[in-house]
A and B are shown apart, each in its own frame.
Chain A
Amino acid sequence: MTMLATLVPLQYGLFGLVALGAPAVVLSRDPLRMAVVNGLYGLVLVLLFVLLGAPDVALSMLVVTTVAYPVVLLIAIARSRSSKEEMDEA
């Protein structure tokens, strides 16, 4: 447990990365690029949760942000790019 006392600079570094990652996600205009940046932001959040002593939260965030978010986002992006003529046949 004494190893945890030296983690404080690492925690602040990760907080800084989170503060940089959020505008990076919001300011990307192309939805496809945003899906990738969102995955990276999720991984930074997983590291932050591990360093704040929360392995359960980090486990659920890890699976969610690497598998579940990209799948639904990519399918929605692919479907929203079809032309309107194909939509009329649906």
Chain B
Amino acid sequence: MRIAAFVPALVVLFALLLWGFAGMPDFGHYRGPYGFVLERIATPERHVTNVVNATTYDYRGFDTMGEEFILFAAVTGVVLLLRGSSGSRRRADDDVRSDSIRLAGAVAPALVILVGLWLVAFGFVTPGGGFQGGIAVAAGALMLFVAVGYRAWSTLGDERLLDPIEGLGAGGYAVVGLAALVSGLPFLTNLFGPGVVGTVRSGGSAALLNWAAAIEVAAANVILTTEFVEQYIAPIVRRRR
């Protein structure tokens, strides 16, 4: 029954798709001028060597603001659905008793969080950037939860701490854009002037947008994993009581 309704729609979709593909250039013979122009002018104009991040935060910074607000809205949806639905949450008395996990937990989360912060800071020089570094920091925080146990983690994964940080990231992006508007330039213009190529100080005010995106992505992912972990912990707590 579902197949009978699905196959005609699939045939129509693929007819349109193949008609679109016939007009595209071959694989490897990219024609468009936009990419070639950006490669040549990004380093002299903005003094950044990572052209992808220059595109994300500077030339197409408005699209990235839209993506940030998608992230913000989706995390709001998850929090509305899951928070406050699992009763008493803060009284799980679990302990991590394995010594090897505690030893690894003393070393591994710090390394991962440091690598994540390095990815964010040098985002305009080498591959990296706000999004990659933010999610690496969130992965390090998750490792910290695994090593420490739920009771100790719940003092750090508190919603009163994480929600303002996420709002700071999302709102900070818009505020940096509005700062350009206040000084008479179009929204999200690059202020501060470009810095020195190849150092942390390159990119102008796009570096602030980089950090705002990193803070928001990290806080949003830590909130998500905290909500999901509490969903997992709640039946275990209830069964032990």
Q: Which residues of A contact B (CB under 8 A)?
A: 54-56, 59-60, 63-64, 67-68, 71-72, 75-76, 78-79, 82, 86, 89-90
Partner of A68, one of B50, B52, B135, B229: B135
**CA gap between A64 and B139 in the complex, in Å:** 9
* Docked complex Cα distance between A64 and B132 (Å): 9
**CB neighbours of B138 from chain A (8 A):** 67-68
Given contacts A71-B225, A72-B224, A75-B229, contact A56 B53 (CB under 8 A): yes
Q: Contact at A63–B139, with CB atoms within 8 Å?
A: yes
Q: A55-B127, A86-B235, A89-B238 are in contact. Are A71 and B228 (CB under 8 A)?
A: yes
- Inter-chain CA distance A76–B78, complex, in Å, is 13
B85 adjacent to A90 (CB under 8 Å): yes
Cross-chain contact B132 with A90 (CB below 8 angstroms): no
**B231:A75 contact, CB within 8 angstroms:** yes
| Chain A hits for B128, CB < 8 A | 56, 59
Q: Which of B53, B135, B228, B231 contacts A64 (CB 8 A)?
A: B135
- Contact of B211 with A by CB under 8 A: no
Contact B52 A56 (CB under 8 A): yes
Min Cβ gap B188→A in Å is: 21
Count A-B contacts at CB 8 Å. 55
Establish whether residues B53 and A75, one from each chain, have CB atoms under 8 Å apart when the complex forms.
no
Main SS of chain B's interface residues?
Answer: helix
A71 touches B135 (CB 8 A): no
- Are the C-beta atoms of A79 and B135 separated by less than 8 Å? no
Q: Write the chain B residue with the least CB distance to A15.
A: B27
Interface pair A75/B228, CB less than 8 Å apart:
yes
Among A54, A67, A79, which residue has its beta carbon within 8 angstroms of that of B142? A67
Determine whether B221 belongs to the interface, using a CB cutoff of 8 Å to chain A. Answer: yes
Q: B232: nearest residue on chain A (CB-CB)?
A: A75
Chain B residues 116 to 146 lying within 8 A of chain A, measured CB to CB, are 119, 127-129, 131-132, 135-136, 138-139, 142
Q: In the complex the two chains form, what is the Cα distance from A82 to B234 in whole Å?
A: 12
Closest to A55 in B: B127
In angstroms, Cα B139 to Cα A17, docked, is 27
Instruction: Give complex CA distance A60, B133 in Å.
Output: 8
By Cβ-Cβ distance, the 8 closest A-B pairs, closest first, are A55-B127, A67-B139, A75-B228, A59-B132, A75-B232, A60-B132, A63-B135, A56-B52
